[in-house]
Structure 1
Amino acid sequence: MRLFLLIGLLLLFQGISLGQEKLKVAVAGLTHGHVGWVLDAHRKGDLEILGIAEANRELAERLCNNYGISTDLIYPNLELLLEKIQPEAITAFGNTFDHLAVVQKAAPKGVHVMVEKPLAVSLEHGLEMQSLAKSHGIHLLTNYETSWYPTNHFAKELTQKGEIGDIRKVVVRDGHRGPKKIGVGKEFLDWLTDPELNGGGALMDFGCYGANLMTWLTEGERPRSVTALTQQLQPENNRNVDDEATILVQYPDKLLIIEASWNWPMGRKDMEIYGLIGAIYADNRNDLRVRIAEGYDGYSEEKMNLPELESPYRDPFELLKSVVREEIILPKFDLYSLENNMLVMEILQAAKESATTGKTIFLEK
């Protein structure tokens, strides 16, 4: 009898210990189409959601019911939520304009924040968010789907080893057929196509990926200039914003070409890196090709299918937990880092100005 009691107590304490290891988070907003990531993480037990701040009660109840989350966790706004509970971190899944407000409310309480890409709707918002994060000593991370792609990480490793020679050109293509065509939810569509709430259209939605990846690949190298062209090819669907953006980001010895579009025939998130002796093609999350030049137009090619990254780099919430608990320290200009994403905001701001004025915008050194 005593043995069974001892085993039971051990299991109980083990359960308590495991429960304490979960990251305790609050969710600010539910209108982002990626919100299923955090709700599913709660369902799987990767983290514990203490509260959800969402003004649209119908939306909040519907999503909570879909994911088996108690509707008792719903609060009408973030202020009330933070009066009642003290999460370790907040994950923001509302519109991009509201990212600043989330940080304004969370930072003074010492609550860390992770937002969905991009960091902000403008450089002005980004600068205020950076100031709040630094003055209150919180982590402010930005989550991109491509941050946990094994192909991108292996591509960087290959470039660092000099496998393709010095980088001369990087081409990053991201996007899909357009929010309305792929059938995103009404709540997501309403703000994605709002120039104030999204900061723009395809330029902001998908242009940020290339800027983020290049800043990481070059370990924070500042570009010299940004030149951008935007178009509206689906005026019936994207009346108030651009849906096609081509951005040229010039560095002293290399060029970044960002092709951000809501007009691709299929969804894509891929990157090409061209060096002096070869090229790397990160075709998607797992498929990567390396070509080494042979003669004038020949090449040898190696294809590979890469396994997922090791924990905590395979999942944004595992990484958030590790950063908050100080189990890891992000390298400077890491994909999630504030330094990286502030430079992303400079590039995006310059791209919007260039597209509006028709001029090349030179960045300050």
Structure 2
Amino acid sequence: MGMKVGIIGCGSISKYRHAPEYKANPYVDEIVFYDRNIERAQELADLFDGKVAHTLEELLSDPTIVAISDCSSNESHHVFSTQALHNGKHVLCEKPISLTVEHANEIVRAQKTSGKNLMVGHNQRFTRAHQKAKEIIQNKELGKVLTFRTTFGHAGPEGWGVNKTNSTWFFKKERSGLGVAGDLGIHKVDLLHYLLDDHITHVSAFQGALDKVDENGQPIEVCDNIVCSLKTKQGYLGTAAFSWTYYGEEDNSTIIYCEKGIMKIYHSNEHQLEVITKDGEVIQYKLENIQTNDHQTNSGVIDSFIEAIRLDQTPLVTGEDALSSLKVILGIMEAAETEKVVHVL
């Protein structure tokens, strides 16, 4: 007998990632959809052969539902994820875990009280190129890490969201909160923590709403670009750029510079991981292409979440992991606003 799962929030992330990946998972039997807009829930239920919960209460009090994906917008995660955990459900919460440390702590506390799994959808850890890169760093194949640079940018969320217009919630301060930093930046912060097995402790940054406008033609209320300098606990130094204005091509690349060579990740379309040694030797790995908004592939997040529940394991991205990435992003926002170096605790 397979599992029954619920999804809260029936926007693009549910439609293109969560629902199809649950549907494809052999251990999941049925999906129940809830959205404040019942038509949206009905649309996905029809698409994925699922059912609709008419109220949140109906979804959360159903004892046959084992796990919940919280795909609500950023400002609601602490409400829905916390309630789902307290109702004895395993929870997969979309990133960022929340917009404030206080709200993130609320979710993490609910996880501890409930004893259920809480996983956060930082999907960069799941790609084979990133996992291989971590292995090379861990095995010290290129000696120790010295510096790094990473970027994540595309043409912006207005082409991805449900309504495909500039009125997208990603551009609204009270719902998106963190602009491109919370949308794309937090993914790379989590990735750096994972790859380097370290934590970013000091940050500085510049940000701006350089090009995006809202539905009234006004500059958006959150940043569409942010450029950062980062230092980790172990003393690695790096830079990061996050953008909603890479018009023409998405960039999701990372370069790690080590004592004995360089690792380029998602730098070339042909080879997802390239190692260039100090002596000029080039080793190329052909692993799977990374997911882009235009090219949806299985992210591995749902499969990993279901496996953690089945085997009673700690999820690959815990609430604590997500909280530490959020703290860095909040530090970056503070650094950009104050033009000071911020120490992330």
TM-score of the aligned structures, taking structure 2 as reference length: 0.87
**Which residue of 2 is the match for residue 245 of structure 1?**
226
**Structure of higher CA gyration radius:** 1
Report how far residue 259 of structure 1 moved.
1.2
Could you tell me how far apart the structure 1 residues matched to 2:192 and 2:25 are?
Answer: 34
Conserved 8 A contact 2:230-2:237: yes
CA distance in 2, matches of 1:256, 1:139: 33
> Could you tell me which of 73, 96, 105 is aligned with 1:127?
105
Contact in 2 for aligned 1:171/1:273 (Cα 8 Å)? yes
Superposition pairs of residues 192-341 of structure 1, within 5 angstroms: 192-219=170-197, 221-237=198-214, 239-251=220-232, 252-265=234-247, 266-283=249-266, 287-294=272-279, 299-306=280-287, 315-330=300-315, 334=316, 336-341=317-322
Matched-pair contact (CA < 8 Å) for 1:55–1:75: no
Residue 233 of structure 1 aligns to which amino acid in structure 2?
A: L
2:142 alignment partner in structure 1:
164
Task: Give, as a single letter, the amino acid of the residue that structure 2 aligns with 1:117.
Answer: K
1:52 aligns with 2:30: no
| Deviation at residue 264 of structure 1 after TM alignment | 1.1
Q: 1:49 to 1:270 in 2, by over 3 A?
A: farther
State the SS of the aligned residue for 1:241: coil
Q: Hey, what does 2:293 align to over in structure 1?
A: none
Q: Is the 2:3–2:66 contact (alpha carbons within 8 Å) kept by the matching residues of 1? A: yes
- DSSP-derived class of the 1:33 partner: helix
Name the counterpart of 2:44: 63
What code does the residue aligned with 1:362 have? Answer: H
Between 55-64 and 316-325, the greater mean CA deviation after superposition: 55-64
**Are 1:185 and 2:162 matched, yes or no?**
yes
Alignment correspondent of 2:16: 36
Total equivalences in the alignment = 328
In structure 2, give the amino acid aligned to 1:319: S
Residues 35 and 116 of structure 1, relative CA distance in 2, 3 Å threshold: farther
CA distance in 2, matches of 1:84, 1:157: 42
Moved more, 283-292 or 170-179: 283-292
Amino acid in the other structure paired with 1:291: I
Which residue is equivalent to 2:5?
25
Q: TM-score, normalised by structure 1?
A: 0.82
Cα gap change, 1:307 to 1:264, in 2 (>3 Å) = closer
SS for the counterpart of 1:224 is strand
Q: Deviations over 1:109-151 (max 9, x none)?
A: 2211111222112222111111111122121111133222110
Please tell me whether the aligned partners of residues 130 and 195 of structure 2 are also in contact (alpha carbons under 8 angstroms): no
Cα deviation, residue 69, structure 1: 2.1
Structure with more helix by fraction: 1
CA distance in 2, matches of 1:59, 1:140: 25
Q: Distance in 2 between matches of 1:52 and 1:361?
A: 41
Question: Secondary structure of 1:272's match?
Answer: strand
The CA distance in 2 between the partners of 1:178 and 1:254, in whole Å, is 30
> Using the alignment, how far apart are the partners of 1:213 and 1:324 within structure 2?
23
Partner of 1:92: 70
Distance in 2 (CA, whole Å) between partners of 1:291 and 1:280 is 6
Q: CA deviation at 1:51?
A: 1.7
Aligned position for 2:294: none
Q: Which consecutive residues of structure 2, in runs of 5 or more, have no partner in the other structure?
A: 290-297
Distance 1:68 1:106 in 2: 22
**Aligned position for 2:128:** 150
